[in-house]
């Protein structure tokens, strides 16, 4: 292990990690918004929007992120739409994550028992009040574990951003390997960087899931 190499180049991984986290967080936030909108359209079976949301969900979940990124980065310029690598990464992650988040939210909304909706109606609650006080609290409890898993999955999917020349962690590792052939050192720093990024989030989400499971019991 070449410790001098690690000492010299680990700052590159820090800068790449900041970029990866920034785009990852932005993409995940957008995916949550898109997923919630799609889930509501499908839950209430809104005409036309229901079909569009269902088709989008299937398309996003059944195509690899790298294919979506290639379409954004190499395909759209053919029709005059040019996006930066950062924009491609954000939009691609949001597009992919929106489909998974939609399914998670929809499963949570669908878990609310009909008798609870009838009880809300008998109490005189309108649609907005029922959603706020009855549907969302129960749906959140059910969908949280799946949403947490999706967040970790999407963070790991950021490893393909380098395919569109985005200087993320994987791009940095491949660049150093190509220039200096210090494969072991470059990959070791890559693994450590992803562990530092994802492991704390995984631990927090695990504790959150246990708490929610205990409250349901």
CATH value at residue 68: 1.10.3720.10
Higher pLDDT pick, 46 / 212: 46
Determine the Cα–Cα distance for residues 92 and 70; give it in Å rounded to an integer. Answer: 9
Average of per-residue pLDDT across 76-81: 90
What is the structure's pLDDT at 214?
64
pLDDT in tens, 126-144: 767 777 777 877 777 788 8
In the predicted structure, residue 216 carries a pLDDT above the cut 70: no
- With pLDDT > 70 as the criterion, what percentage of the chain qualifies? 97
Domain that holds residue 102: 3-216
Q: How confident is the model at residue 109 (pLDDT cuts 50, 70, 90)?
A: confident
What's this model's pTM, rounded to 2 decimal places?
Answer: 0.85
Average of per-residue pLDDT across 47-67: 92
What is the structure's pLDDT at 96?
94
What is the structure's pLDDT at 141?
77
DSSP one-letter string for 11-65:
HHHHHHHHHHHHHHHHHHHHHHHHHHHHHHHHHTT-TTHHHHHHHHHHHHHTS-H
Token digits for 152?
């970790």
The owner of tokens 């398309």 is 59
Average of per-residue pLDDT across 81-91: 90
In the predicted structure, residue 95 carries a pLDDT above the cut 70: yes
Average of per-residue pLDDT across 193-202: 89
| DSSP summary character for residue 182 | -
In the predicted structure, residue 53 carries a pLDDT above the cut 90: yes
Average of per-residue pLDDT across 34-48: 90
Orientation of helix 85-110 relative to helix 136-157, angle to 10°: 150
What is the structure's pLDDT at 91?
93
In the predicted structure, residue 154 carries a pLDDT above the cut 60: yes
Question: Could you give the maximum distance between any two Cα atoms of the chain, in Å?
Answer: 71
Domain count within the chain: 1
What is the structure's pLDDT at 37?
93
Which residues make Cβ contacts (< 8 Å) with residue 71, sequence separation at least 6? Answer: none
Q: Which of the residue ranges 45-49, 124-128, 134-138, 179-183 would you say has the lowest mean pLDDT?
A: 124-128
Higher pLDDT pick, 214 / 91: 91
């Amino acid at each position: 292990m070449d410790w001098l190499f690690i000492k010299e180049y680990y700052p590159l991984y820090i800068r790449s990690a900041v970029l990866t986290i920034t785009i990852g967080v932005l993409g995940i936030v957008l995916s949550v918004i898109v997923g919630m909108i799609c889930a509501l359209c499908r839950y209430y079976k809104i005409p036309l929007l229901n079909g569009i949301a269902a088709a989008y969900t299937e398309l996003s979940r059944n195509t690899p992120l790298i294919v979506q990124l290639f379409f954004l980065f190499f395909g759209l310029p053919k029709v005059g739409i040019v996006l930066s690598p950062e924009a491609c990464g954000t939009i691609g992650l949001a597009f992919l994550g929106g489909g998974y988040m939609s399914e998670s939210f929809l499963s949570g909304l669908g878990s609310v028992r009909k008798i609870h909706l009838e009880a809300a109606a008998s109490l005189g609650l309108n649609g907005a009040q029922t959603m706020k006080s009855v549907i969302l609290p129960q749906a959140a409890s059910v969908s949280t574990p799946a949403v947490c898993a999706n967040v970790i999955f999407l963070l790991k999917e950021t490893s393909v951003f380098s395919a569109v020349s985005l200087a993320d962690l994987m791009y940095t590792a491949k660049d150093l390997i190509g220039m200096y052939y210090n494969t072991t050192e470059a990959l070791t720093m890559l693994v450590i960087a992803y562990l530092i990024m994802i492991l704390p989030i995984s631990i927090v989400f695990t504790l959150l899931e246990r708490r929610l499971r205990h409250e349901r019991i």
